Chain A
Amino acid sequence: MALAAPELSRRARRVTPAGLARFLARRLGTGLVLVVGITLVAFVITHLVPGNPAAATLGQTAMSDPTIVKAWDHQYGLDKPVVEQYLIYLGKLAEGNLGISEHDNNPVLSDLGQHIPATLELALFAIVVSTAIGVSLGLLAAVRRGRTADGVIRIASLAGVSMPTFWVALVLFIVFFSKLGWFPSGGRLDPGVTPPATITGMYTVDAILHGQWSLFVQALQHLVLPGVTLGIFTIGTMVRFTRASVLEVVNNDYVRAARAKGLPEWTVVRRHVLRPALLAITTVAGLAFANLLSGTVLVENIYGWPGIGEYAYQSAINLDLPAIMGVSMFVALVYIVINLLVDLAYSLLDPRIELR
């Protein structure tokens, strides 16, 4: 019988600096293509339609005066051919210039810088809460598969993804602000309160860094309602995925083998079941986080949360082209970065996977 030497060649280090660099470079390349593509889609959509940005910004009276319209179009380069406009935009983009927002006259880049931390804070809160709850419930459902708990969790998670977030936001708002008065109505802080000096832009984090505890508590209170609203939708997805991936793992031979070794049940679940299931969960959590970062529009709208979603909404209704493009690019970047992080996490968690 052939006693082939085991191939242990790849054992040394799976993630070498050179390999990592190559991986990042390749991803950066495809990411760049995607960003340019996104700008193209945004550009085409906002140009090939009869809507008129000038009309949206200037209003009825100014529109009736052709000289004003002409000056406005000229100011934003809208009198040039569309292709030229796009190339000009790309050229500026390469210099890191995202243009000037047409509805608040600030550079889009600084607008994004203002709004992103608010959304990031909200999304982080929601993803942490929903992952913790969602993974536990999903695990419980998988362990009690087919029993009452499983059925209840299943229905609840379907309900979670079926309720419109803007409605959940409204209901929570009515109950916990309007009726019970437990949480503030909206915004990131009470009116008139000075936010902590900016370090990360996330008020809770900045408050901690500055040791301003009462401010931290207040910022956290403002986070709860919008955060939970976003979380409810995400919990549903997390539960379903956790349950499915745990069940997929549980039926594997290696789990039976672990039990046959006489390991305590908790060790079997933690080490042999949860770890592979975490692979799938990582992916979902990553995607869910990306969705949270871009899907906060409705919740931010209700809670007056000055994040990227609200900015996107304002840009959309004002047909503010540079701003829409800026938001789109931010969102595209979010997906690129998060996919990259998920892949990196995968290669750390699963020895069989090599970075490519």
Chain B
Amino acid sequence: MSPDLLAIEELTVRLRTRRGIRRAVDGVSFAVGSGEIVGLAGESGSGKTLTALALLGLLPGGARVSGRVMFEGRDLVGLDRRRLRELRGREIALVSQDPMTALHPLLRIDVQLTEHVRAHLGLSKAEAEARAVELLAAVRIPGPAAALGAYPHQFSGGMRQRIAIAVALACAPKLLVADEPTTALDVTVQAGILRLLDNLRHEHGFSVLIITHDLGVLSAVADRLVVLYGGRVVESGTTGEVLASPRHPYTRGLMRALPGAVGAGQAMTPIAGSPPTLDSMPGGCHFHPRCDWAVESCFTVVPARREIGGGRTLACDVDPLRREGPETAAADRDGEPGLEPELQR
């Protein structure tokens, strides 16, 4: 495979909450190769959106970032604001969650589709508009020239998401970050958008980082999966392998929660309990309060993320498939602080 376009290494995002400073993203590492689609999966509160915002440099003011975000050999963490801004929209583009709100309701499509093109690439108005028409055609908007003069509310949800993708692709970015790109859409429309993304990345050769809670979406398009829980990577690997034999109890839970589950035949059962909040993050393995396999050490020992072959990683000392003892894992993990002491009851 080609060298990684994006390599996130030990990314940590600290936020100040009312009760102190919390790690919302805690030592996350993964890579996205050129032309690859990587899925970042997890429930709300898992840190997936913050990870995406961190690599766009769009974290809210109070957040502190450490670790490295290597994009084409440059570390985006600590890059000055101006450089980062020049990179945003041009090299790395964002497709937001809800197409109903991601497009500005008061601005015409032509403005939204050309303003950054003109700012980044220095095109004239006419050139930028010509390009906008091509883009709309590329995302299969019928009558692209006419659509330029319209406002977002004149389009359906699926159409708006196509336009949002066109906006993101306008400067031919190398990486597209798609934050829940299909969550707000009907299932049939979802499939169309995903197929479109897949086709476009083959045509234009960009990479995609899809962020979603929906493994079903990822199974359709992602080459690789990174599963986050409580700000940490719990499992990663190629989509096929992870979905065929999920190793982390959380991944298994996510799959059981899918309607018409990938792991065929089983009834749809949601994971018991709800995801922790920053101020109620449990000690040890964050997932232990909701885990059917949890053993005593899970309450106190943070499981190390380790290679388990086939390019996969796993951060679980119990590993329901193997039932390994926790001792071995605890050994190579010399008490990293991980959590604020008061939470380690």
Contact present between A and B (CB < 8 A): yes
Q: A residues touching B (Cβ–Cβ < 8 Å)?
A: 1-8, 10-11, 252-254, 256-265, 267, 271-272, 275-276, 279, 349-352
Contacts of A351 in B (CB 8 A): 105-106, 108, 151, 153
| Interface positions of B from 90 to 107, Cβ below 8 Å from A | 90, 93-94, 96-98, 101-107
Contacts of B120 in A (CB 8 A): 262
Q: Are A6 and B188 in contact (CB under 8 A)?
A: no
Q: Are B191 and A1 in contact (CB under 8 A)?
A: yes
B259 at the interface (CB under 8 A from A): no
The 16 sampled A-B contact pairs (Cβ below 8 Å) are: A4-B156, A5-B142, A6-B143, A6-B147, A6-B154, A11-B150, A11-B154, A254-B104, A260-B58, A260-B88, A262-B87, A262-B88, A272-B107, A276-B105, A351-B108, A351-B153
**The residue from B103, B154, B188 contacting A1, defined by CB atoms under 8 A apart:** B188
Tell me which of A6, A262, A276 contacts B150 (CB under 8 A): A6
What are the residues of chain A within 8 A of B87 when measuring CB–CB?
Answer: 262
Are the CB atoms of B143 and A8 closer together than 8 Å? yes
* Interface residue B155 (Cβ < 8 Å from any Cβ of A): yes
* Distance of A17 Cα from B159 Cα, bound (Å): 31
Is the beta-carbon distance between B106 and A276 smaller than 8 angstroms? yes
Chain A to chain B: the 5 pairs with minimum beta-carbon distance, closest first: A262-B89, A1-B192, A262-B88, A260-B94, A261-B89
- Contact across chains for B104 and A261 when beta carbons are under 8 A apart: no
- B104, B143, B146: most-surrounded residue (chain A CB, <10 A): B104
- A254 B115 Cβ-Cβ under 8 A: no
B192 to A, closest residue via Cβ: A1
Given A254-B105, A262-B88, A352-B153: A8 in contact with B97 (beta carbons within 8 A): no
Q: Which of B106, B141, B146, B151 contacts A275 (CB 8 A)?
A: B106
Are A254 and B102 in contact (CB-based, < 8 A)? yes
On whether the beta carbons of B141 and A6 are closer than 8 Å, the reply is: yes
Report which B residues bind A (CB closer than 8 A).
56, 58, 85-90, 93-94, 96-98, 101-108, 111, 115-116, 119-120, 140-143, 146-147, 149-151, 153-156, 158-159, 164, 167, 188-189, 191-192, 195
Scoring A7, A253, A257, A260 by chain B CB atoms within 10 A of each residue's CB, the highest score goes to A260
Q: Is the CB of A7 within 8 A of B154?
A: yes
Known: A6-B155, A350-B105. 15 other contacts (CB 8 A): A1-B191, A2-B188, A2-B189, A4-B159, A8-B143, A257-B104, A260-B88, A260-B93, A261-B115, A262-B116, A263-B115, A263-B116, A272-B107, A351-B106, A352-B153
Q: How far does the Cβ of A231 sit from chain B's closest Cβ, in whole Å?
A: 29
CA distance in complex: A352, B106 (Å): 8
Asked whether, in the complex, the Cβ of B189 is within 8 Å of the Cβ of A1, the reply is yes
Total A-B Cβ pairs within 8 A: 116
| Alpha-carbon distance A352/B150, docked complex (angstroms) | 11
In the assembly, what is the distance between CA of A352 and CA of B103, in Å? Answer: 13
In the bound complex, residues from chain B placing their C-beta under 8 Å from that of A258 are: 104
Q: Are B94 and A257 touching (Cβ within 8 A)? A: yes
Most chain-B CB neighbours within 10 Å: which of A1, A262, A350? A262
Name B90's contact: one of A5, A7, A262, A350 (CB within 8 Å): A262
Contacts of A279 in B (CB 8 A): 106
A11 CB to nearest B CB, Å: 5
Residue of B nearest to A14 (CB): B151
**In the bound complex, how far is the Cα of B84 from the Cα of A265, in angstroms?**
12
Q: What's the Cα separation between A259 and B147 when bound, in Å?
A: 23
Chain A residues in 8 Å Cβ range of B101: 252-254
Partner of B96, one of A257, A267, A275, A352: A257
Q: Kindly state the separation between the CA atoms of A260 and B101 in the bound complex, as whole angstroms.
A: 14
Given A254-B104, A349-B106: A264 in contact with B119 (beta carbons within 8 A): yes
What is the CA–CA distance of A325 and B271 in the complex, to the nearest angstrom?
A: 70
Chain A residues near B106: list those with CB within 8 A.
Answer: 275-276, 279, 349-351
Residues of chain B lying within 8 A (CB to CB) of residue A1: 158, 188-189, 191-192, 195
Of all chain B residues, the one with the shortest Cβ separation from A259 is B58
In the complex with contacts A3-B140, A257-B102, A352-B151 CB distance below 8 A? yes
**With A252-B101, A262-B120 given, is the CB distance from A6 to B156 under 8 Å?**
yes
A10 near B115 (CB under 8 angstroms)? Answer: no
> Hey, which chain A residues are within 8 Å of B159, CB to CB?
4, 6
List chain A residues, Cβ under 8 A from B88: 259-262
CA distance A198 to B104 in the complex (A): 47
The answer to whether A262 touches B119, judged by C-beta atoms less than 8 angstroms apart, is yes
- Residues of chain A within 8 A (CB-CB) of B191 are 1
Which residues does chain B contribute within 8 Å of A261, judged by CB atoms?
88-89, 93, 115-116, 167
CB A278 to nearest CB in B, in angstroms, measures 9
**A4 contacts which chain B residues (CB < 8 A)?**
156, 158-159
How many Å lie between the Cα of A253 and that of B164 in the bound state? 12
Return A192 CB to nearest CB of chain B, in Å.
Answer: 53
Name the CB-closest residue of A to B84: A262
Q: How far is the CB of B181 from chain A (nearest CB, A)?
A: 12
Please name all residues of chain A whose beta carbon is closer than 8 Å to the beta carbon of B93 when the two chains form the complex.
260-261
* Measured CA separation A276–B151 after assembly (Å): 14
Q: Which residue of B lies closest to A276 (CB)?
A: B106
Residues of chain A contacted by B111 (CB below 8 angstroms): 271
Complex Cα–Cα for A227 and B273 (A): 61
Which of B85, B97, B111, B189 has the most chain A CB atoms inside 10 A of its CB?
Answer: B85
Query: Which among A7, A8, A11, A254 has the highest number of chain B CB atoms within 10 Å?
Result: A254
Contact residues in A for B151 (Cβ distance below 8 Å): 351-352
A163 to B159, CA, bound (A): 53
Q: Hey, which chain B residues are within 8 Å of A8, CB to CB? A: 143, 146-147, 150, 154
Measured between beta carbons, the chain B residues less than 8 angstroms from A10 are 154
Q: Considering only CB atoms, which chain A residue lies closest to B189 in the complex? A: A1
**Alpha-carbon distance A252/B189, docked complex (angstroms):** 24
A10 to B150 CA separation, bound complex (whole angstroms): 9
Docked CA distance A3–B149 (Å)? 20
Alpha-carbon gap, A172 to B106, bound state (A): 42
Residues in A neighbouring B94, C-beta threshold 8 A: 256-257, 260
Cβ A352 vs Cβ B105 within 8 A: yes
A251–chain B nearest beta-carbon distance, Å:
10
Which residue of the partner chain B has the closest CB to A254?
Answer: B104
